[in-house]
Amino acid sequence: MINDVKGILSLYEASFLSVHGEQILDEAHVFTKANLESLAMQSSPRLGDHIRNALTRPFHKGLPRIEARKYISFYEEDESRNDTLLKFAKIDFNRVQLLHKQELSILSRWWNDLNFAEELPYARDRIVEIYFWVNGIHFEPQYAFSRMMASKYTKFVSLLDDTYDAHATFEEIQHLTDAFERCSMNAIDQLPADYMKVLYMALLNLFNETENDMGKQGRSYASYYVKEAFKQLVRAYQVEAEWADKCHVPTFVEYLLNGLDTSTYGVIMAASFLGLEEVAGVEEYEWLESNPKIIKAAKMICRLMNDIVSHEDEQKRGDCASAVECYMKQYNILEKKAIEEIQKMNATAWKDINEDCMRPTKAPMLLLQQFVNLVRVSYVFYANGDDAYTIPLSLKDYNSYFEFVVELSMNVVVECIVIKRAVNRGCYKYVVLDLNMEASFLGLEEVAGVEEYEWLKNEQKRRDCASGVECYMKEYNISEKKAIEEIQKINAAAWKDIDEDCMRPTKAPMLLLQHFVNLVRVLYDFYAKDDDAYTIPLSLRDYNSYFELVVELFMNVVVECIVIKRAVNRVYHKYVLLDL
For residue 332, pLDDT over 50 is answered with yes
Strands 409-420, 425-435: pairing kind: antiparallel
Determine the average pLDDT of the residues in 299-313: 86
Q: Minimal CA–CA distance to 54: which of 69, 43, 70? A: 70
pLDDT digits (tens, 9 = 90+) for 492-510: 999 888 888 888 767 778 8
Is the pLDDT higher at 253 or at 546?
Answer: 253
For residue 462, pLDDT over 80 is answered with no
In sequence order, which residues have a C-beta less than 8 Å from that of residue 298 and are 6 or more positions away? 263, 265, 349, 353, 371, 372, 374, 375
Contact call for residues 575 and 108 (beta carbons, < 8 A): yes
Determine the average pLDDT of the residues in 89-118: 90
What pLDDT does 378 receive? 86
Is the pLDDT higher at 443 or at 280?
Answer: 280
Q: Minimal CA–CA distance to 536: which of 448, 450, 432? A: 432
What pLDDT does 447 receive? 52
As beta bridge partners, residue 412 has 433
- Alpha carbon 13 to chain centroid distance? 24
pLDDT digits (tens, 9 = 90+) for 471-482: 988 889 888 888
Q: Which of 279-293, 325-339, 448-462 has the lowest mean pLDDT?
A: 448-462
- For residues 192, 193, 194, 200, the Cα torsion angle rounded to the nearest 10 degrees is -70
Query: Cα–Cα distance between 29 and 10 in angstroms, integer?
Result: 11
pLDDT digits (tens, 9 = 90+) for 151-201: 999 999 999 988 988 888 889 999 999 999 988 888 898 899 889 999 999
What pLDDT does 117 receive? 84
Domain ranges of the chain: 1-56, 87-384, 465-500, 505-579
Is the pLDDT higher at 435 or at 165?
Answer: 165
Mean confidence (pLDDT) of the chain: 78
- Alpha carbon 203 to chain centroid distance? 25
Q: Which of 56-65, 378-387, 449-458 has the lowest mean pLDDT?
A: 449-458
3-state secondary structure of 424: coil
With a pLDDT cut of 70, the percent of the chain lying above it is 77
As beta bridge partners, residue 560 has 417
Q: Minimal CA–CA distance to 299: which of 252, 250, 251, 353? A: 353
Tell me the pLDDT band of 421, cut-offs 50, 70 and 90. Answer: very low
Is the pLDDT higher at 461 or at 131?
Answer: 131
For residue 140, pLDDT over 50 is answered with yes
Using a 10 angstrom Cβ sphere, with 0-12 exposed, 13-18 middle and 19 or more buried, the burial of residue 513 is middle
Q: HSE-up of 147 (CA within 13 Å, CB side)?
A: 27
For residue 428, pLDDT over 90 is answered with no
For residue 416, pLDDT over 70 is answered with no
What pLDDT does 488 receive? 87
Can you list the positions of beta strands (E) in 54-155?
A: none
Query: Cα–Cα distance between 464 and 333 in angstroms, integer?
Result: 73
What pLDDT does 580 receive? 27
Q: Minimal CA–CA distance to 539: which of 436, 433, 415, 467? A: 433
In sequence order, which residues have a C-beta less than 8 Å from that of residue 356 and are 6 or more positions away? 292, 293, 294, 297, 368
- b/e sequence 26-63, b meaning 16+ C-beta within 10 Å: eebbebbeebbeebbeebeeebebbbebbeebbbbbbb
Tell me the pLDDT band of 295, cut-offs 50, 70 and 90. Answer: very high
For residue 556, pLDDT over 50 is answered with no
pLDDT digits (tens, 9 = 90+) for 244-280: 888 888 999 999 999 999 998 999 999 999 999 888 9
Is the pLDDT higher at 442 or at 240?
Answer: 240
Tell me the pLDDT band of 392, cut-offs 50, 70 and 90. Answer: low
Q: Which amino acid is at 570?
A: R
* CATH assignment of 87-384, among 2.40.30.10, 1.10.600.10, 3.40.50.880, 3.40.50.300: 1.10.600.10
Phi, psi torsion values for 384, nearest 5 degrees? -95, 15
Q: Minimal CA–CA distance to 156: which of 179, 182, 123? A: 123
Determine the average pLDDT of the residues in 377-384: 81
Query: Cα–Cα distance between 494 and 522 in angstroms, integer?
Result: 16
Query: Cα–Cα distance between 108 and 110 in angstroms, integer?
Result: 5
Contact call for residues 558 and 421 (beta carbons, < 8 A): yes
Q: HSE-up of 123 (CA within 13 Å, CB side)?
A: 24
What pLDDT does 412 receive? 27
Tell me the pLDDT band of 233, cut-offs 50, 70 and 90. Answer: very high
